[in-house]
Amino acid sequence: MSTATARVPAPAGSRRAAAIPVVLAFFSGPVGLVTKIGLLSLSNGLAVWAAYVLVDHRNWVALAVLAAATGLIDYVYLARRRTPAAKFLVPATVFLIGFQVVPIIYTVEVAFTNYSTGHIASKADAIRQIERVTLEPPANGKSYTAAPARDAGGNLVLVLRDDQTGKDYVGTDERLTALAPGTVTTGALGIASAKGYRLLKGNELFSLDKTLNSFVVPTAGGAGIRMQGLSQAVELRPTLRYDSRRDAFVRTRDGTVFHDNGEGSFVSATGEELEPGWKTFVGTKNFGSIIHNSAIRKPFLQIFWWTFVFAVSVVFLSFAVGLFLAIVLNKKGMRFRRLYRSAILIPWAVPGFLSLLVWQGLLNDDFGVVNRVFLNHVGLNVPWLFDGDWAKVSVILVSFWLTVPYFFLVSLGALQSIPDELVEAARVDGGGPIQIFRRVTLPLLLVAVSPLLIASFAFNFNNFNNIYLLTSGCPCDSAGGIAGSTDILISYTYKLAIATGKGQDFALASAVSIIVFLIVASISAVSFSRTKALENLA
């Protein structure tokens, strides 16, 4: 009797491994070539569009870089010579430059300018804007019945009827043009229709509210017509005249001259400043403000010290408790060990921003659960978030609660990687539990964990979420300063960028960001150099 040999199915892992060469071979043939050409066509199409934009802005340096990069990418992927390493390095390099190098260079560039609210545009744009915003109606200025409309090309125009002469006009942002009689008809609510133009009504009209406020139809002598409401327009005349020879504005009323002060503004001899200004290079002025301006220097030093204390406290406490829990739960034969491990990981499983908002409610003075428990059992009402010192304690404790699971996992993995033979040998030599931990376990543990400790310190040094979502940097002092009691450098930088002076001061915030980077980089470099001594123990 013959017996049939049963086929044993291959394991799932081996089937997946065998499928990989098949997929690679499939995409290495005609399908791969078509895919490659399609992606390169898309890349070149984007490059052509970008080149058009750069030519329009006359940015020749960026255009040259774009052309060289596009040519290099096409060569790498279309050359007959095999360049497998370059094919993988090119996309990685593009993303590195786009998401790391360019933002860093831009931040450094902004730090040496006056880029802030009122100093965003170029000087030419600022001059045009000043001429627009300093218009005012003269004593005998003309008034018009007006209606916003679209011409045949879809461009925004104003259909106008002179209230004195009854003549009809159409105005663009370049000129005022007379219309033939009978082109415009009026009704009880103003202009009802205009031949060749579509009047704007309803939601389309209201959505252009901001655009209409800045829309000016130029007329003779530097004057301009601007909308006043939705159905009226008036002719406005400039109160300032730009003198290109002196590069200055002159006020027509009293002859006051506003010169370029070299810092992105036109300023008079008495200190009166015209708005808006423009973005310009100011050198190390922003860094000098941090040193010489007491309103910035004093909170900066206080915040730097608190930032260092916060980062060190969170890392040290979290690592100590995480290591202790890892040692306890690393014992074999312990009952419910998996349950305990799962419970410790709960804070890490919940999204951090959600946990912080929940803790903000739990620690609230009036209705927080934590204070209710304290009040009922101990008789204390702790101002967790409303007193400066207690708010700092709250931030450290909540950050500690969020970080312990991470160091528990890290420490548990490092402990399990230590050979049992070393521990047994130390025990045979007469070492006690404390001696074995201090002389064997901890040094070997730090070889693996030290880089993670440094990384965690750098992370907490810039831990914006834990501060801003829990306390928003508050409580603030009674003097109304920008910095709060729990602000760290990164949240202070955010406040500088959003709430300083007249508005957003991105240049000063960029300067502080560079200083923060240098501080963290210096501390990390020193720490890494110190940890090299541990490598000899491995």
Segment 412-471, tens digit of pLDDT: 988 888 888 887 888 887 778 888 888 888 888 888 888 889 889 999 998 999 999 999
Tokens standing for 73? Answer: 């990418």
In this prediction, residue 24 has a pLDDT band, given cuts at 50, 70 and 90, of low
- Rounded CA gap, 334 and 59, in Å? 68
- Rounded CA gap, 214 and 174, in Å? 13
For 109, the enclosing helix (H) or strand (E) is helix 102-111
How many CA atoms does the CB half-sphere of 524 hold within 13 Å? 18
Of 316 and 32, more confident: 316
CATH 2.40.430.10 residue spans of the chain? 135-238
In this prediction, residue 4 has a pLDDT band, given cuts at 50, 70 and 90, of very low
Which pLDDT does position 312 carry in this prediction? 94
Which pLDDT does position 203 carry in this prediction? 84
Q: pLDDT tens digits for 25-44?
A: 655 667 777 877 888 899 89
3-state secondary structure of 58: coil
Let me know if 521 is exposed, middle or buried by CB neighbors in 10 A (0-12, 13-18, 19+): exposed
Highest CATH level, class, for 135-238? mainly beta
Mean pLDDT of 402-417: 90
Which pLDDT does position 280 carry in this prediction? 93
Mean pLDDT of 153-166: 90
- Per the CB < 8 A criterion, the answer to whether 243 and 251 are in contact is no
Mean pLDDT of 383-393: 89
Which pLDDT does position 1 carry in this prediction? 46
CATH 1.10.3720.10 residue spans of the chain? 292-537
Q: Whose structure tokens read 């949240």?
A: 491
Q: pLDDT tens digits for 103-132?
A: 999 999 999 999 998 899 899 999 988 887
Percent of the chain exceeding pLDDT 70 equals 90
Q: pLDDT tens digits for 260-283?
A: 998 999 999 998 999 889 999 999
In this prediction, residue 339 has a pLDDT band, given cuts at 50, 70 and 90, of confident
Of 341 and 394, more confident: 394
- Rounded CA gap, 16 and 324, in Å? 41
CATH 1.10.3720.10 fits 292-537, yes or no: yes
3-state secondary structure of 431: coil
Q: pLDDT tens digits for 506-518?
A: 998 899 889 989 9
Q: Look at residue 473 and tell me whether its pLDDT is greater than 80.
A: yes
Q: pLDDT tens digits for 192-248?
A: 899 999 999 888 888 887 788 878 888 877 788 888 887 889 988 888 989 889 999
Identify the CA nearest to 91 among candidates 19, 36, 172, 14. 36
Sign of the torsion formed by the C-alpha atoms of 114, 115, 116 and 117: positive
Mean pLDDT of 487-494: 89
Which pLDDT does position 170 carry in this prediction? 94
Cα distances (Å, whole numbers) of residue 467 to 216, 397, 491: 46, 12, 7
- Rounded CA gap, 108 and 103, in Å? 9
In this prediction, residue 523 has a pLDDT band, given cuts at 50, 70 and 90, of confident
pTM of the model: 0.74
